[in-house]
Amino acid sequence: MNERIDALVASIDERIRKKSYGEQPLELYEPIRYIMNLGGKRIRPLLAILAYRLFKDDVDDIIEPVLAIEMFHNFTLMHDDIMDNAPIRRGFPTVHEKWNSNTAILSGDAMMIKAYDQLLGVKPSLLPTAIKEFNECALKVCEGQQLDMNFESLTAVSEEQYLHMISLKTAALIGFSLKFGGILAESGPAECQALQEFGHYMGLGFQLTDDLLDVYADKNKFGKQVGGDIISNKKTYLLIKAQECGSQGDKEALRRWFSGKNLDAKEKVAEVVKIYDRLDIKGLTEKAIGAYFENGLARLDAIPVPEERKKDLKRVVEYLIYREK
């Protein structure tokens, strides 16, 4: 993205590599080291740091606290992968595949505790607010995940229902990350609120991009199983728009593919994608993504700090819009 951002990501990665989560029992702590060192974009702690840097410059002082966000995020991924029976995460076996589900559950629980340890690095006068906001965000993520699982048993989900779910499961953590940076910088309530709203719209765009990449990504660049959402019958924005825009025949075909048992996965993905292509679901999704990012940037533009301080955040948004994995 640029040298300053790359340096911040490298600093986050270095702190993560040096973390000592615990030693024994090895089965509890090794999965934490494994998933935390698989890489990833580190977008959430990066956003917190860049939000902080809108107001202050001493970012080294806040890297340890913002690692709480990355630990919590990876905890949710570890548990989500079990629920989704996902085989791959960032191009490597998921924790429950490499070890087993019981180990992944317990190790994820330990990660959540370690995330709270990181929050102890917050300035004492800010700690109550930080914990309160963190807890509210964590509960929203759990609510969103439960709604996502509930959707699996429904024959149809509305666009409104889906957007509400991803506003909890995905956008809440991105919004909190930015607001957390504002809290650590001791910015005012209006600025913190604008940062959270900025993150909310970014989170919606981010998740719709994930939905799109799951179907249309280059499999050599995508860190997860391409077509995985279709194979696992997930209700995504693409499916919802296809059900909304398609003919009666399209809707019936989608119903068969998403309710059938013991179907050939490769054939299922290919046939569903044919329907998406015919209806230009990719174009419709890209239009929605652009609108959400535009709304988010409007919230960032409203924050009364020099434009120069916003440039790196805007570069991250540009990266997220055009990312390929």
pLDDT tens digits for 194-227? 999 999 999 999 999 999 999 998 766 555 567 8
Does the pTM surpass 0.85? The reply is yes
What is the pLDDT at residue 154? 86
pLDDT at 193: 97
Q: What is the pLDDT of residues 220-271, one digit of tens each?
A: 655 556 788 899 888 999 999 999 999 999 999 999 999 888 899 999 999 9
Residue in this structure with the two tokens 């994930």, named with its chain if needed: 210
Which of 124-155 are b and which e, b meaning 16 or more Cβ less than 10 Å from the residue's Cβ? eeeeeebeebbeebbebbeebbebbeebeeee
Structure letter (DSSP) for residue 278: H
Q: For 101-157, write each residue's pLDDT tens digit.
A: 999 999 999 999 999 999 999 999 999 999 999 999 999 999 999 999 899 888 889
Q: How far apart are CA 147 and CA 162, in angstroms?
A: 9
Q: What is the pLDDT of residue 88?
A: 86
Closest listed residue to residue 212, CA positions, set 181, 240, 174: 240
pLDDT over 90, % of the chain: 80
d(Cα 172, Cα 204) in Å, to the nearest integer? 9
Kindly report the length of the chain.
325
Q: How far apart are CA 98 and CA 133, in angstroms?
A: 34
DSSP state of 38: S
* pLDDT at residue 279 in the model: 97
90 pLDDT higher than 90: no
Architecture of domain 3-322: Orthogonal Bundle (1.10)
